[in-house]
């Protein structure tokens, strides 16, 4: 059997973004803070790697910021559970709630995020998007053209049931 010419396949498209700068947690961030704005503009971040060259221990300001953050893993949560009026007023409208899909792949799976500003962000496959009949835009994270769609429900904070 002949070997296929695997070395002639085009590599898949990808993007690596590296932002460098100074991050001072004790000061109010400037409006053009590339690091903070980059993190906040991508609602599906699950991990951020920070490198401090020539630093023997983690700065106290960072330890303090991380010590006051709780997180929980809730499995099989339906989106309608998050539309309860009491939940919306107690957590989402107070700006103390952030949720993101876990163990989903942004480029191939249906993914959901709720931002601290109360915006429900949906990244949906074409089939799910068409089934729900939502208005939105083509996602920048699609592997194939027109295969993923994004919808930001800004009326999320108005409450439902």
Residue 154's pLDDT is what? 59
Where are the domains positioned within the chain? 29-158
pLDDT-derived band at 12 (thresholds 50, 70, 90) equals low
In this predicted structure, the answer to whether residue 6 has a pLDDT above a threshold of 60 is no
Q: What is the average pLDDT across 4-21?
A: 61
Residue 9's pLDDT is what? 60
In this predicted structure, the answer to whether residue 21 has a pLDDT above a threshold of 60 is yes
* Average pLDDT score, the chain: 74
DSSP string, 67-125: HT------SS--GGGGG-HHHIIIIITTT---EE-SS--TTTS-EEEE-TT--EEEEEE
Q: What is the pTM of this model?
A: 0.61
Per the model's pLDDT, the better-predicted residue between 4 and 114 turns out to be 114
Per-residue pLDDT tens for 40-86? 777 777 667 777 778 888 888 777 777 766 778 888 888 888 778 88
Q: What share of the chain is helix, strand, coil (3-state, %, to 5)?
A: 25, 10, 60
């Amino acid at each position: 059997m002949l070997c296929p010419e695997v070395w002639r396949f085009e590599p898949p498209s990808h993007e690596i973004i590296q932002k460098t700068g100074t991050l001072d947690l004790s000061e109010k961030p400037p409006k053009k803070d590339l690091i903070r704005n980059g993190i906040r503009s991508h609602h599906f971040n699950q991990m951020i790697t920070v490198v401090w060259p020539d630093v023997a221990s983690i700065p106290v300001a960072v330890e303090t910021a991380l010590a006051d953050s709780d997180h929980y893993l809730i499995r099989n949560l339906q989106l309608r559970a998050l539309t309860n009026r009491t939940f919306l007023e107690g957590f989402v409208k107070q700006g103390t709630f952030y949720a993101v899909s876990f163990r989903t792949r942004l480029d191939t799976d249906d993914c959901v995020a709720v931002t601290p500003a109360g915006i429900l962000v949906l990244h949906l496959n074409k089939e799910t998007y068409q089934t729900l009949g939502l208005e939105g835009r083509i996602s920048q994270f699609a592997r194939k053209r027109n295969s993923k769609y994004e919808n930001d429900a800004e009326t999320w904070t108005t409450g439902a049931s």
